[in-house]
Amino acid sequence: MSPKGFCAIIAFMKTRILKFNGENPDTTIISEAAAILREGGLVAFPTETVYGLGGDGLRAEASAKIYAAKGRPSDNPLILHIADQEQLTGLVHSVPEGARRLMEAFWPGPLTLVFEKSDAVPYETTGGLDTVAVRMPSHKGARALIRAAGVPVAAPSANLSGQPSPTGGEHVIRDLEGRVEMILDGGDVPLGLESTIVDVTGDTPVILRPGYVTLEQIRTLLGAGEMDPAILDKPSEETRPKAPGMKYRHYAPQAEMVIVEGDRAEVIRQIEELAGGKVREGKRVGILCAQESRGNYHAAPCKTVGTRAEEASIARNLYRCLREFDEEQTEFIYSEAFSEGTLGTAIMNRLVKAAGYRIIRTGGQSGKIQ
């Protein structure tokens, strides 16, 4: 059953939607939202990465509600969000030395760590795993809410399963109105890509999902670090990702999307040709490109995702652009690749999944990654 079909059968509820100033959160709003969480209800709220769909992470029934509201498979574990380091103690079996140093360097911020879980964390929250993912967001409003709730807040991205993560309040409202008690609309989030996930349970830290905190930064700090080999490849039996969520076709626009990578002039030529061909067939076509090459595309309507001069702008706008293509009922999307710079791996990880692993490398081999 589709996520939307699944959600249609859960009871409709009245959702309170409140404007929320993340920098200077209103104390009344915080205490009302915190009360909902403590009573086992759901509140969607902004973080610095993407919006989260929060519930009490220590209550099995709150986690079950999160899965139902999102239409998410319940073997896909949730991240626990905490407000300060003391909150970590009761949730994990132990804190390895490497993890401690990562926390000092990158918390609060866009880094999630996977630990061995304590008995306090229910299997409903961890999707049946003996490990638990924990993150301390840097977003002031998010931390104020978690602190006021007084419980670790389980929060996946606040989208319907299979939709791009929400980076603006209107995305959350569109996906979750009627399915949660409250939505805190804090406007556009600053980063726009989900946190880096690092498994710290083994001898070497392993990145399970790339993000703003990079492999290079982790290696510089700890002198060690690996990337889960499944990150840019199509999941298979040999390369099954360790983060269960990475195996699903996440971040997927409704359109069939193809990424064209390689020499700039050749990329533009190929995208023009492919887009022009589909337009002639009468299809609805969109092109996703950087500002630097926008003027070169004429075959189909084009969205500028950001500038290559500031790769954070590409990260910030990517999901918004994908959602816009959906709203416009685009049937085929042709996208440039954005592999350069420190954020290239994280951006391409999302883009390649959105494209269902369809990538054309100009001047080299082409076709679908097997």
Interface residue list for Mg ion (CB under 5 A) = 157
Only one residue has tokens 């990145």, namely 207
Report residue 289 as tokens: 């490109």
245 binds ligand TXA (CB under 6 A): yes
Binding segment for ligand TXA (CB under 6 A), chosen from 101-109, 145-153, 176-184, 189-197, is: 189-197
112 contact partners, CB below 8 Å, separation of at least 6: 79, 133, 134, 135, 195, 196, 197, 198, 209
Residue 197 touches which member of ligand TXA, Mg ion, none, C-beta under 5-8 Å by kind: ligand TXA
DSSP structure class, residue 298: -
Among 153, 206, 243, 347, interactor with ligand TXA by CB under 6 A: 243
CB 92 within 8 A of CB 117: yes
Binding segment for ligand TXA (CB under 6 A), chosen from 129-137, 214-222, 226-234, 310-318, is: 129-137
**How far apart (Å, rounded) are the C-alpha atoms in residues 155 and 56?**
9
Residue 91 touches which member of ligand TXA, Mg ion, none, C-beta under 5-8 Å by kind: none
Q: Which residues does residue 259 pair with via DSSP β-bridges, in sequence order?
A: 335, 359
CB 165, min distance to Mg ion, A:
5
Specify the pairing of strand 111-116 against strand 196-199. parallel
Residue 163 touches which member of ligand TXA, Mg ion, none, C-beta under 5-8 Å by kind: none
Residue 267 touches which member of Mg ion, ligand TXA, none, C-beta under 5-8 Å by kind: none
CB 156, min distance to Mg ion, A:
5
91 binds ligand TXA (CB under 6 A): no
What is the helix (H) or strand (E) element at residue 153, kind and residue range? strand 153-154
Q: Which is nearer to Mg ion, 98 or 137 (CB)?
A: 137
CA 318 to chain centre: 11
Among 57, 71, 77, 108, interactor with ligand TXA by CB under 6 A: 77
**How far apart (Å, rounded) are the C-alpha atoms in residues 253 and 331?**
9
Residue 15 touches which member of Mg ion, ligand TXA, none, C-beta under 5-8 Å by kind: none
Q: Does 25 sit behind a cis peptide bond, omega within 30 degrees of 0 on the bond before it?
A: no
Q: Which is nearer to Mg ion, 157 or 196 (CB)?
A: 157
**How far apart (Å, rounded) are the C-alpha atoms in residues 59 and 329?**
39
Residue 132 touches which member of ligand TXA, Mg ion, none, C-beta under 5-8 Å by kind: ligand TXA
Q: Which is nearer to ligand TXA, 125 or 270 (CB)?
A: 125
Only one residue has tokens 């603006």, namely 168
Q: Which is nearer to ligand TXA, 129 or 279 (CB)?
A: 129
**How far apart (Å, rounded) are the C-alpha atoms in residues 52 and 50?**
6
Helices (H), the chain: 3-8, 27-38, 60-70, 97-106, 123-126, 140-149, 169-176, 215-222, 264-280, 311-327, 344-354
274 binds ligand TXA (CB under 6 A): no
Among 22, 29, 34, 47, interactor with ligand TXA by CB under 6 A: 47
Q: Which residues does residue 55 pair with via DSSP β-bridges, in sequence order?
A: 154
x/- contact string, 195-214, with ligand TXA (CB under 6 A)?
x-x----------xx-----
Among 22, 52, 166, 306, interactor with ligand TXA by CB under 6 A: 52
The residues that touch ligand TXA, with contacts defined as CB under 6 A, are 47, 49-50, 52, 76-79, 112, 114, 126, 129, 131-133, 135, 155-157, 194-195, 197, 208-209, 242-246
